[in-house]
């Protein structure tokens, strides 16, 4: 075998790996989504299309004064997105669709807010306790759809949607009356912002990315994603989760407790979403102004944002980090597009298009692999049936 054939052999092996297929599918989806997005930008406002296209592609770098601020803003916005992406991705591994991540995110946000405002006696431990409490609240809220699925065969999508609304109205109800005087600014109808030791520390990141809002949350997100990857791929528990997701009947016959795995996966999924909500409400935010929650009867989008992130990452926890950063990059373009007359929904439309293409790209990716194999066989002089 000469050097050229050896190189082709290695290339074919790389193309056949699941990792290459997943990455190529994602890149195809992103490329096609951006192309269609640019076409929509041209159609919706032809006179400013070239400016709109440049602002979309530049993302956070539309402000040329300090590029580090733009990078920091991407990481700041990506922090909760990593956690909601992990929430959806982890549930996918068990074969369940956690559409209730928004409710779990809201519960985590709410409980973290209580600890962040009222737990001043915790001192320097206030922010980590608030994050932990938010995560546990999300896990508790995610457990219920898992129980209904495991024991009563109620589809987790139905209960997930129900618990999104139950969580929303429960939080708004508690903030509207018994806790209003402690947690809500009546003038704005928004929750008060956490201060002092309740805020997530910057951990030197404010020195690298000044005035961007990025804090320790992004470091925690990366650590948790790595831990999630290890659990799924390197532990018995993770293999049991995946076996249930691949074939529940086969997993059950192999001795895996299917019900336990579904409940556990939904609880862990809720844990991730709850931590995401906690980190949002505890973040110092841009210019150290803090974040708050508005008492409106609208489900938060953050949980739903986890769906395209998980799909683009092919439910790989490490891939979730990069897909969250990409979605954050696109979202940062929102303000720049609005400033030249585009609708605020433009960015969400583009993300939705990418989501649809991510499904089609699986088919396209398989076609490309088959095409390459057929071409190599033809070059080798083999008969193609």
The four Cα atoms 243, 248, 250, 255 give a dihedral, to 10 degrees, of 80
Report which of 348, 322, 323, 313 is spatially closest to residue 333, judged by C-alpha positions: 348
Please tell us whether the domain made up of 66-341 is placed in CATH 1.20.120: no
C-beta of residue 200 within 8 angstroms of C-beta of residue 283: yes
First to last CA, the chain: 25
Contact in structure between 345 and 127 (CB atoms under 8 Å)? no
Query: From its phi and psi, is residue 196 left (phi > 0), alpha (psi between -120 and 50) or beta?
Result: left
- What is the structure's pLDDT at 263? 98
Q: With 0-12 CB in 10 A as exposed, 13-18 as middle and 19+ as buried, what is 40?
A: middle
Domain ranges in the chain are: 1-45+344-385, 66-341
Tens-place pLDDT, residues 71-91: 898 999 999 999 999 999 999
**Spans in the chain with pLDDT lower than 70:** 1-9, 11-19, 21, 62-67, 287-288, 359, 361-373, 375-385
Concatenate the DSSP letters of all residues of 16-80 into one string. HSHHHHHHHHHHHHHHHHHHHHHHHHHHH-GGGHHHHHHHHHHGGGGSTT-HHHHHHHHHHHHHH
Q: What is the pLDDT of residue 385?
A: 46
Entry pTM = 0.90
Which sign does the torsion angle of CA 307, 310, 313, 314 carry? negative
CA distance 95 to 243: 9
Q: Quote the CA–CA distance of 253 and 273 in Å, as a whole number.
A: 32
- pLDDT for 108-129, tens place per residue? 999 999 999 999 999 999 999 9
């Amino acid at each position: 075998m000469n050097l050229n054939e050896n190189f082709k052999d290695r290339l074919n092996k790389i193309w056949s790996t699941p990792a290459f297929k997943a990455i190529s599918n994602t890149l195809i989806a992103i490329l096609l989504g951006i192309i269609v997005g640019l076409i929509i930008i041209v159609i919706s406002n032809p006179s400013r299309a070239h400016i709109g296209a440049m602002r979309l592609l530049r993302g956070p770098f539309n402000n040329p004064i300090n590029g580090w601020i733009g990078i920091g803003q991407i990481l700041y916005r990506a922090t909760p997105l990593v956690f909601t992406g992990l929430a959806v991705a982890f549930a996918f591994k068990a074969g369940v669709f956690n559409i209730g991540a928004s409710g779990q995110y809201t519960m985590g946000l709410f409980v973290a807010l209580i600890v962040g405002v009222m737990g001043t006696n915790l001192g320097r431990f206030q922010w980590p306790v608030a994050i932990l409490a938010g995560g546990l609240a999300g896990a508790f809220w995610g457990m219920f759809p898992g129980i209904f699925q495991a024991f009563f065969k109620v589809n987790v999508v139905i209960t997930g949607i129900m618990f999104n609304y139950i969580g929303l109205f429960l939080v708004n109800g508690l903030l509207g009356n018994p806790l209003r005087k402690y947690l809500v600014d009546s003038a704005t109808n928004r929750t008060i912002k956490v201060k002092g030791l309740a805020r997530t520390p910057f951990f030197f990141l404010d020195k690298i990315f000044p005035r961007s809002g990025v804090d320790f949350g992004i470091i925690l997100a990366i650590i948790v994603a790595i831990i999630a990857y290890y659990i799924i791929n390197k532990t018995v528990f993770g293999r049991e989760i995946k076996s249930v997701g691949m074939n529940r009947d086969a997993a059950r016959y192999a001795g895996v407790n299917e019900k336990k795995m579904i409940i556990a996966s939904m609880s862990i999924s809720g844990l991730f979403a709850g931590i995401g909500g906690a980190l949002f409400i505890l973040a110092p935010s841009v210019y150290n102004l803090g974040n708050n929650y508005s008492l409106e009867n609208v489900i938060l989008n953050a949980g739903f944002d986890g769906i395209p992130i998980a799909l683009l990452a092919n439910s790989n926890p490490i891939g979730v980090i990069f897909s969250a950063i990409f979605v954050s990059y696109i979202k940062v373009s929102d303000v720049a597009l609005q400033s030249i007359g585009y609708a605020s929904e433009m960015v969400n439309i583009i993300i939705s298009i990418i989501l649809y293409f991510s499904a089609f790209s699986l088919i396209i990716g398989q076609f490309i692999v088959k095409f390459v194999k057929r071409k190599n066989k033809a070059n080798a002089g083999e008969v193609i049936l």
